[in-house]
Amino acid sequence: MSAAYQTMRVSTCGGVARLTLDNPPVNVLSLQMMAELTAFFGAVEDDPAIRVVIIDSANPDYFIAHVDMTMAEDPSCFDRLDELTIAGLNPFQSLSERVRRLPQVTIVKLEGIARGGGAEFVAAADMCFAAIGQGALGQVEAVMGLVPGGGGTQYLRRRVGRNRALEIILGAELFDAQLAERYGWINRALPPETINDFVDTLADNIAALTDGVMHAVKRALPADDYSKGFKVENEAWSSLFVRPSTSELVSAALQKGVQTPEGEQHLEKLLRELRRAYMDGEGGGIRSFE
């Protein structure tokens, strides 16, 4: 718990650990962040003094923008990602499952955007509370020719039902906090001026419960077994990831400003324009456009 991190900050008080993600400029889920999160969850799961983990962001606009797209252009990344992987899962599923399998209660305080792998990370937590007008969630993978590959297909079906999961994944639009609450994607949408006090009070109340109560409740409400679904999801994701159109779109998106504060504001629109440009080129490449 005393480790120095480059992409996040950790503080503890009264049985509550606060994990603040801080990977400028837009909190992409980079290899470094994944390694540090893996190390943190590995340390905290064996710490009996910690009962609740609150996860928030130092960036008011972005919780986790999405997986770092530059990893797709660096083959060596996947060798290093293998070191972070749980047997039977891919690296992104492994990170989500480390969150979901923690013995402590995990609470996301969502005050910015979480897309792709960031949205999957949120869905893996025990609870999520989002600020109205600030918090937002989206699975954008379909626009890139992919499916969610970090547990999103499994978590969403359980949280919102199959029909709404299909809408979220295939529609690939950003859901604001209130609509996400209505669908069951998050626990509650709260006014920005009250979300801090609400989450802190809830965490403190859980941490103050009699010894054994919190763990007994989590045992009585066991996490679902998604092992079969994860296998199918990974096969679907990996078969699409190797397509040339996917790598070309990722490269073009990076050139057009993805992973900058400006480019991320209208990511879905940008990706759709790039997808249309690729289709107009009949697979022969993405034409330049303004």
CATH assignment at residue 191: 3.90.226.10
- pLDDT of res. 280: 83
- For 32-43, what is each residue's pLDDT tens digit? 999 999 999 999
- Judge residue 79's burial from the number of C-beta atoms within 10 Å of its C-beta, 0-12 exposed, 13-18 middle, 19 or more buried: exposed
- pLDDT of res. 282: 52
If pLDDT is split at 50, 70 and 90, which confidence band does 289 have? Answer: very low
- For 59-85, what is each residue's pLDDT tens digit? 999 999 999 999 988 888 988 999 999
More confident residue, 68 or 245: 68
Which DSSP symbol is given to 112?
Answer: S
Q: Which residues are CB-contacts of 19 (< 8 A; sequence separation ≥ 6)?
A: 8, 9, 10, 40, 53, 54, 55, 56
The domain of 113 spans: 1-290
Q: Count how many domains the chain has.
A: 1
If pLDDT is split at 50, 70 and 90, which confidence band does 274 have? Answer: very high
Q: Could you tell me what percentage of the chain is helix, strand and coil, using 3-state DSSP and rounding each to the nearest 5?
A: 50, 15, 35
Q: Tell me which residue of 139, 142, 144, 94 sits closest to 120, measured CA to CA.
A: 139
- pLDDT at residue 130 tops 90: yes
- pLDDT at residue 283 tops 70: no
Rounded CA-CA distance 146/169 in Å is 10
